[in-house]
Amino acid sequence: MPNPDPRRFRQFVAFGFAGGITALAHYGLLIALVEAAGVDPVPATLAGYVLGALVSYTLNRWMTFDATRSHAEAGWRFAIIAAGGFGLTWLLMHLFVARLGLPYLPMQLVTTGIVMVFSFLGHKSFSFADRG
């Protein structure tokens, strides 16, 4: 069995920590908008996604990927991956909640898992990848 790469392990742990903080921001806004303001879950989760993306960029640039790209270069790259995650979030939540009538919070958990994998791979290979 190969030895685990300590850098990848640290990166995975940092991504998980940043993801937890990001999820708190996203879910906090989602739940507040749905439960307190009566906003439909699909637009509420998209608002939460935008807040989460801002938190995610800040934390992952600093803690997870040790980015060597400038903010100007990493920022537009991050925005492309985030836009893909935004679209995927809309598609899945629209399907689960609006079309199938499933409860929004469990479906947000499923959506978060799918979008997290998409985002990690995109940010690792494109947004914050070393220049070269």
Q: What is the pTM of this model?
A: 0.85
CA distances from residue 131 to 14, 70, 80, 95, 119 in whole angstroms, order as listed: 21, 10, 17, 38, 19
SS3 letters for 8-42?
A: HHHHHHHHHHHHHHHHHHHHHHHHHHHHHCCCCHH
Polymer length in residues for the chain: 132
Is 121 a domain residue?
yes
In which domain, by residue range, is 41 found? 6-127
10 falls within a domain: yes
Whether 72 maps to a domain, the answer reads yes
CA–CA separation, 15 vs 18, rounded Å?
Answer: 5
For residues 19 and 92, give the distance between their C-alpha atoms in angstroms, rounded to a whole number.
19
Give me the pLDDT at residue 80, please.
Answer: 96
Look at residue 132 and tell me if it is in a domain.
no
How many structural domains compose the chain?
1
pLDDT in tens, the chain (132 residues): 556 678 778 888 888 899 999 999 999 999 999 999 999 999 999 999 999 999 999 998 888 887 777 888 889 999 999 999 999 999 999 999 999 999 999 999 999 999 988 988 898 888 887 765
> Do the domain assignments include residue 1?
no
Q: Is 9 exposed, middle or buried (0-12, 13-18, 19+ CB in 10 A)?
A: exposed
